[in-house]
Amino acid sequence: MQVPLLDLRAQYAPMKEEILATVAEICDSQRFILGDKVEAFEKELAAYCRSGAAIGVSSGSDALLIALMAEGIKPGDEIITSPFTFFATVGAIVRAGAKPVFADIDPVTFNIDPAKIAEKITPKTRAIIPVHLFGQAADMDPIVALAKEHDLFIIEDACQAIGAEYKGKRVGTFAEYGAFSFFPSKNLGCFGDGGAVSCDTEERAKLLKIFRNHGQSKTYIHEYVGGNFRIDALQAAILSIKLRSLDSWSEARQKNAAIYRDLFAASGIGDKVVLPQTASYSVRHIYNQFCVLVKDGKRDALKQHLLDSGVGCAVYYPLSLHLQECFKELGGKPGDYPESEKASGEILALPVFGELSAEQLEYVVSTIAKFYGK
């Protein structure tokens, strides 16, 4: 049996005709940049996220960057974030000219630990970027309280977590900004690169629109140095169609996660493979990834066994960001962020996408059990 880590073809099939019709309409119009389709999608996305506004941009990476640029981040500013995230979170901070400052993660949720953030705040701190990793919300209440106390702004990196909720409130709406990615492997993916920024006020939305178009407030009148951070009409139109099915896809992932929990409970390997835990405040985990912790230094061997048996799996992320070559100048050393480093040595993502069959899920767990001789 083959179980891919992700296969989007089954998801596409029922909406193929509708999507191709929209693509044809846009090709006939030859209007590809911004326009009605983008505006319509932005309204739908803001309604879905229950945010004040949403602005379509070129990627999740650029969503983070543009929010930092709109806040006038400058060299010397410090921004606190997690060392256990996709590279783009920290890359955006450096691209904006600021200094990333890491705060270690909570080993249970893999999200930034608010108590560790408090220790890293200095007079130079300007912002916090919590990441809602794998589709589970970070512990936002204490993070928002810290930001208020120290007059910091927040960009939630919600690139893996569209529609996830913390105490019943959707991610991307807790403070000033939320960054979303529509990279194809995210729960809501487009047909290429795309992203969005949610924000809390009309003023911020206006400013973001200026920044995404080279800081141009009127045609060829540039108030700021922005960039080309625009989203295509084609991507926006495809996303409008796909957004209508997002809840059913996320629910199918939740269902698969629940099936895994039953299968693992019955397998007798609970002390060897630790399943992802949901915090009490995380009332809606959307399982962009289902990541287990493989104990006893066996992660890489189990990964190879799964791949050899036809089960797709992957390590997100194998190297804590403070140890990356390109951030060497920040002075990070092994041992600085022990929880992040430990997670990067044990984590393994298993297939969880909605169209997996019960037989495929059973095969994944029985293949793991076999590795342990069960």
Ligand X SMILES: *Cc1c(COP(=O)(O)O)cnc(C)c1O
Binding site for ligand X (CB under 6 A): 59-61, 85-86, 88-89, 131, 157, 159-160, 181, 183, 193, 195
Q: How far is the CB of 109 from ligand X (least distance, A)?
A: 14
CB of 223 to ligand X, least distance (A): 26
Identify the three-state secondary structure at position 266. Answer: helix
By beta-carbon proximity to ligand X, the closer residue of 193 and 346 is 193
Which is nearer to ligand X, 59 or 250 (by Cβ)? 59
Between CA 244 and CA 250, with CA 247 as vertex, the angle to 5 degrees is 135
Closest CB to ligand X among residues 93, 131: 131
Looking at this protein, which amino acid is placed at residue 75? Answer: P
Contacts 24+ apart (CB under 8 A), 366-373: 366/267, 367/305, 367/306, 367/309, 367/311, 368/267, 368/269, 368/273, 368/302, 368/306, 369/267, 369/268, 369/269, 371/298, 371/301, 371/302, 371/305, 371/306, 372/269, 372/272
To the nearest whole angstrom, how small is the minimum distance from the Cβ of residue 69 to ligand X? 15
Q: CA dist 224 to 65, 74, 176, 227, Å? A: 14, 14, 20, 9
Q: How far is the CB of 131 from ligand X (least distance, A)?
A: 5
Which C-beta is closer to ligand X: that of 179 or that of 361? Answer: 179
- What is residue 314's DSSP assignment? B
Tokens of 208: 């973001």
Which residue is closest to ligand X by CB? 60
Rounded to a whole number of angstroms, the minimum distance from the CB of residue 342 to ligand X is 19
- Assigned token pair, 84: 């256990």
Nearer to ligand X, 67 or 159 (CB): 159
Q: Which two tokens stand for residue 164?
A: 């996830």
Tell me which H or E stretch contains 341: helix 338-346
CB of 253 to ligand X, least distance (A): 15
Could you tell me the two tokens for 184?
A: 């194809």
Rounded (10°) CA dihedral 84, 68, 231, 37:
110
Q: To the nearest whole angstrom, how small is the minimum distance from the Cβ of residue 87 to ligand X? A: 8
56 versus 332: smaller Cβ distance to ligand X:
56
> Toward ligand X, which CB reaches closer, 193 or 341?
193
